């Protein structure tokens, strides 16, 4: 019972620490991941550092998936981050080996928990989150103490002497036991900590502990695999990279187990590390380093193979929308923004095509026009999927809130432009327009093409001033021209039907130019959050 309670305290403490550290780090983690993931080495180093900071390889994996989805990381870079996260997660084992079982921390644990609770209750912002971190750390130490107490009499209940001689069969049983421990606990860190704690009480020997840790490293892939069910292809690829890394490394260790254990012992003796718990922590780190050393030189071939195994089948607009990244607001917002940029490209391409076809004299019933309408209706449905994704995001900082607000504006303008083109363009007469509006229509067509290019090159800030100026000039033109055409119509100089057709064209062009400007403006990085314009 004490052991089960100890595992519970440990898992609760780990979750509290991870939650607090993620909020304290805030967007700095996102910036770190975005800035320092250039080559393979820097990607792996970034993955290791972030996992070390937040004590959660799962959170690192989720952030990585989000960045791949948002188009800010390539899959090769993401794989490097996953490799590094495997290394970073070994820090928990070192903490337990160097502090948790080496020193008596039970007397220190409760004051740490108390201090953390006081900070959480009576402060706000990052100080409150620091309280959460301290409470989590204290609970980890409480859990280790209960684990030690509960495992002290393990041999009275389980005869582990049956596995004393590590034959291939016994080794396989221990590895499978390690896999099961991680699946049950849903945390390889907790499983490894439990193993080190049992080892420190004499419940198992060093070789048995190393076999268990080998299985626990493989077992962590089960959690990743379960999380990827029903997720995006990006998430499945990232999960598969994680699974193959751990299974491949575990297989190598299983085959050469006696030689690797001997080598680890010899290396530890050179450093005068004699405590079995530290040797297990060293092995845990070696597990990840071995996989990195073997696979990182072939990371491009490795990722190409995974991409061939899991090709993309979903729409380019919605393929990255993955519910698993919703808990990371900044990453989820960028993913939605990337999806909206793709929706904008496709909307403008279809709009330009329909515009050109109608201007060339094709009737609204022509199959080409129907094709553009079907495309726009599909985009409209996919933007509804984006809306459902966006609704679930909860912003956690002023910067995220501002970006989220822009996201909502951009989504609204894309959908409104879409409806305008589907329902209103067929009623607008584009052939033989007035000489005064002819150059305006031509300029709008040019701006649509330029906007598509800016979206594809991710250089929206450069075109925003041009779109703004055009839309505002057109708004003034619309006011004057509408009043003027009705005035000459009243004098009998223009047929009323032609007048209304002309006004309808002016209003349509004005509406498209306005939505184009505001859409591109809100999709760009440089957004003024002033409420005066939407």
Choice between 98 and 443, residue whose per-residue pLDDT is larger:
443
Higher pLDDT, 351 or 1: 351
Pair (9, 110) in one structural domain: yes
The answer to whether residue 236 is domain-embedded is yes
Domain boundary among 260, 287, 309: 309
User: Does any domain span residue 317?
Assistant: no
Q: Give 40 or 532, the one with higher predicted confidence.
A: 40
Residue 381 lies in a domain: yes
Q: Give 436's DSSP letter.
A: T
Query: Using 50, 70 and 90 to split pLDDT, how confident is the model at 52?
Result: confident
Residue 40 resides in a domain? yes
Q: Is residue 318 part of a domain?
A: no
Domain boundary among 267, 282, 309: 309
pLDDT at 470 over 60: yes
Residues 187 and 328 in one domain: no
77-91, 161-175, 219-233: which has the highest mean pLDDT? 77-91
Residues 6 or more apart whose CB falls under 8 angstroms from that of 42 comprise: 36, 80
Q: Is the pLDDT assigned to residue 405 strictly greater than 80?
A: yes
Quickly state the pLDDT bin for 327 (edges 50, 70, 90). confident
> In this structure, are residues 517 and 410 in contact, taking their beta carbons and an 8 Å threshold?
no
Is residue 211 assigned to a domain?
yes
Q: Which domain holds residue 459?
A: 323-523
Note whether 296 and 368 are same-domain residues.
no
In a domain, 316, yes or no: no
The answer to whether position 115 is within a domain reads yes
Provide the pLDDT for residue 70: 60
- Measured over the CA atoms of residue 49, residue 82, residue 193 and residue 282, the dihedral's sign is negative
CATH of the domain at 386: 1.20.58.220
Which of the four pLDDT bands, split at 50, 70 and 90, describes residue 531? very low
Q: Which of 256, 278, 309 is the last residue of a domain?
A: 309
What pLDDT, on a 0 to 100 scale, did the predictor assign at position 501?
A: 84
Same domain, yes or no: 272 and 413:
no
Q: Does residue 526 surpass a pLDDT of 70?
A: no
The reply to whether 29 and 103 lie within a common domain is: yes
CA distance 147 to 1: 9
Distance CA 20, CA 502 (A): 61
**Residues 240, 143 share a domain:** yes
Same domain for 474 and 434: yes
pLDDT at 100 over 80: no
Cα–Cα distance for residue pair 221/247, rounded to 1 Å: 8
186, 226, 415 from 182: Cα distances, Å:
5, 13, 46
Measured distance CA(379)–CA(414) in Å, rounded: 10
pLDDT digits (tens, 9 = 90+) for 266-305: 999 998 888 888 999 999 999 999 999 999 999 989 999 9
**Same domain for 336 and 292:** no
Q: For 135-158, what is the mean pLDDT? A: 67
Which residue reads 């393979």 in tokens?
40
What is the pLDDT averaged over residues 217-245? 80
Same domain, 435 and 472: yes
User: Which has the higher per-residue pLDDT, 37 or 96?
Assistant: 96
What mean pLDDT is predicted for residues 416-442?
A: 80
For 193-211, the three-class secondary structure string (H helix, E strand, C coil) is HHHHHHHHCCCCCHHHHHH
- Residues 23, 132, single domain; the answer is yes
Is pLDDT of 213 > 60? Answer: yes
Give the Cβ contact number of residue 517 at 10 Å: 25
Predicted local confidence at residue 329, as pLDDT: 81
Considering the domain architecture, whether residues 271 and 378 belong to the same structural domain is answered as no
With a cut of 80, say whether residue 106 has pLDDT above it.
Answer: no
Mean pLDDT across the stretch 44-69?
76
Q: How many structural domains are present in the chain?
A: 2
Do residue 45 and residue 173 come from a single domain?
A: yes
Cα 55 to Cα 482: distance, rounded to the nearest angstrom: 64
- What residues have CB less than 8 Å from 203, skipping those under 6 apart? 151, 152, 154, 155, 160
């Amino acid at each position: 019972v004490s052991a089960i309670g100890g595992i519970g305290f440990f898992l609760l403490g780990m979750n509290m620490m991870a939650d607090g550290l993620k909020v304290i780090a805030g967007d700095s983690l996102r910036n770190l991941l975005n800035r320092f993931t250039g080559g393979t080495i820097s990607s792996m180093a970034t993955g290791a550092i972030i996992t070390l900071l937040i004590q959660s390889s799962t959170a690192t994996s989720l952030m990585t998936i989000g960045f791949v989805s948002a188009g800010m990381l390539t899959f090769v870079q993401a794989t490097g981050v996953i490799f590094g996260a495997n290394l970073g997660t070994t820090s928990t084992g070192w903490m337990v080996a160097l502090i948790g079982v080496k020193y008596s921390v039970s007397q220190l644990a409760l004051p740490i928990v108390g201090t953390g609770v006081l900070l959480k209750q009576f402060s706000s912002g990052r100080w409150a989150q620091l309280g959460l971190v301290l409470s989590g750390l204290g609970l980890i130490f409480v859990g280790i103490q209960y684990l030690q107490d509960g495992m002290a009499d393990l041999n009275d209940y389980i005869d582990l002497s049956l596995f004393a001689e590590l034959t291939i069969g016994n080794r396989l049983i221990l590895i499978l036991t390690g896999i099961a421990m991680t699946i049950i606990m849903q945390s390889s860190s907790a499983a490894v900590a439990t193993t080190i704690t049992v080892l420190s009480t004499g419940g198992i020997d060093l070789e048995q502990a190393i076999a268990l840790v080998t299985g626990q490293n493989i077992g962590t892939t089960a959690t990743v695999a379960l999380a990827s069910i029903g997720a995006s292809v990006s998430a499945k690829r990232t999960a598969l990279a994680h699974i193959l890394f751990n299974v491949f490394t575990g297989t190598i260790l299983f085959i050469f187990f006696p030689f690797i254990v001997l080598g680890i012992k010899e290396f530890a003796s050179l450093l005068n590390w004699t405590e079995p718990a530290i040797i297990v922590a060293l092995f845990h780190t070696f597990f990840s380093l071995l996989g990195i050393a073997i696979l990182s030189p072939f990371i491009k071939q490795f990722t190409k193979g995974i991409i061939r195994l899991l090709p993309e089948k979903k729409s380019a607009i919605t393929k990255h929308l993955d519910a698993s990244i919703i808990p990371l607001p900044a990453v989820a917002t960028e993913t939605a923004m990337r999806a909206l940029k793709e929706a904008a490209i496709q909307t403008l391409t279809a709009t330009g095509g329909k515009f050109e076809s109608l201007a060339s004299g094709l009737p609204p019933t022509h199959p080409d026009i129907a094709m553009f309408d079907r495309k726009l209706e599909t985009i409209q449905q996919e933007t509804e999927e984006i809306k459902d994704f966006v609704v679930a995001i909860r912003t956690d900082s002023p910067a995220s809130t501002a970006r989220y607000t822009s996201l909502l504006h951009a989504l609204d303008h894309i959908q409104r432009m879409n409806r305008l083109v589907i329902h209103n363009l067929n009623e607008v007469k584009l052939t033989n327009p007035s000489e005064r509006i002819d150059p305006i229509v031509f300029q709008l067509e040019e701006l649509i093409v330029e906007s598509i290019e800016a979206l594809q090159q991710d250089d929206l800030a450069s075109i925003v001033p041009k779109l703004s100026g055009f839309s505002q000039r057109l708004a003034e033109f619309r006011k004057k021209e509408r009043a003027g055409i009705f005035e000459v119509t009243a004098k009998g100089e223009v047929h009323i039907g032609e007048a209304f057709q002309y006004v309808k064209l002016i209003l349509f062009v004005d509406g498209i130019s306005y939505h184009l400007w505001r859409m591109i403006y809100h999709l760009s990085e440089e957004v003024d959050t002033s409420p005066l314009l939407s």
